[in-house]
Amino acid sequence: MLIKRIATAAVLVPLVVLGALNLDNHLFSLALALIVALGAWEYSRLIQIKRSPLRALYSAVVVLAALSSALCGPLLMPLLLVSAVWWLFNIAWILLYPKYSSCWYSSWAVRLANGFFIFVPMLAALAAMQNESSELVLLLLALIWSADSGAFFVGKAIGKHKLCVKVSPGKTIEGAIGGIITTVAVMMIYVAFQVDGASMGQYFQYTILALLVAVSSIVGDLFESLFKRISNIKDSGNLLPGHGGIFDRIDSLTAAAPIFYLAHELLI
């Protein structure tokens, strides 16, 4: 499994980096739209939309909403603010699971709306970052990959205390701390080499930004795990060998992208 994960990552990472660096904003948004379409298709399976035409319709509506949000600049910041509040509520749902889970899963309206909040702010934030600077996209991806890798390897090495056993039994507190430390370390390296004459205040701001990315990536991961647990499905799909589905690979990004861009615009 680890070999498959490494092999898949070895193919995907260069493609993502090259895409972020070389695609213009319109092509980048279209590439994101394809990823969102696949992610929404897999998510529709998690919320028990069983008929393929309905899953395709839902995916198409999510993509259209995401692209419309990306193209409508004045709506971006309000959307990200609402998304940040929504992710705060998700933390409560994760921590309380399975208590009160019927409040957010039994209703079709809530399940469908959750999909919009999962994918739409992510695409809008990434498109805005790419339009501003591809460096922001690459920084975010580096931070998320650092959080994921740090959590994986530290958790495997010394993980003993479960982080959220009812939602994701494999995740540990030690792993989460390892991911957070790794993310902050990567951010400090970025500031040292990319921010000329960085002051202590700037180091502090970027540290806060790194912490927000690390924590939000964990929350995004756990939120998808919650849906998989209640649906009794191990992976959202099987498109990526060793990684599962597209949604399995972007779950951290769904939370981290809007939080990162919002915090970056407010802090930096």
For the stretch 96-142, pLDDT in tens is: 998 877 776 778 899 999 999 999 999 999 999 999 999 999 999 99
Domain residue extents for the chain: 2-267
| 121 membership: H or E segment, kind and range | helix 108-132
Using an 8 Å Cβ cutoff, are 7 and 242 in contact? yes
For residues 55-71, one letter each, b for 16 or more C-beta atoms within 10 angstroms of the residue's C-beta and e for the rest, the string is beebbeebbebbbebbe
Percent of the chain having pLDDT more than 70?
94
For residues 28-46, one letter each, b for 16 or more C-beta atoms within 10 angstroms of the residue's C-beta and e for the rest, the string is bbebbbebbbbbbbbbbbb
pTM, two decimals, is 0.94
Burial (CB < 10 A; 0-12, 13-18, 19+), residue 193, is exposed
Smallest CA-to-CA distance from 257 within 62, 86, 119, 148 is with: 119
Smallest CA-to-CA distance from 76 within 12, 16, 121, 18 is with: 121
Q: Which residues contact 251 (CB under 8 A, 6 or more apart)?
A: 220, 221, 223, 224, 225
d(CA 158, CA 160): 6
Per-residue pLDDT 10s for the chain (268 aa) are 556 556 555 566 777 778 888 889 899 999 999 999 999 999 999 999 999 999 999 999 999 999 999 988 899 999 999 999 999 999 998 999 988 777 767 788 999 999 999 999 999 999 999 999 999 999 999 999 999 999 999 999 999 999 999 999 999 999 999 999 999 999 999 999 999 999 999 999 999 999 999 999 999 999 999 999 888 888 787 776 655 789 999 999 999 999 999 999 999 8
For the stretch 61-83, pLDDT in tens is: 999 999 999 988 899 999 999 99
Instruction: Count other C-beta atoms under 10 Å from residue 120's C-beta.
Output: 25
Using an 8 Å Cβ cutoff, are 112 and 58 in contact? yes
d(CA 191, CA 139): 11
Smallest CA-to-CA distance from 136 within 125, 124, 148 is with: 125
d(CA 159, CA 151): 9
Q: Is the dihedral of CA 88, 171, 183, 4 positive or negative?
A: negative
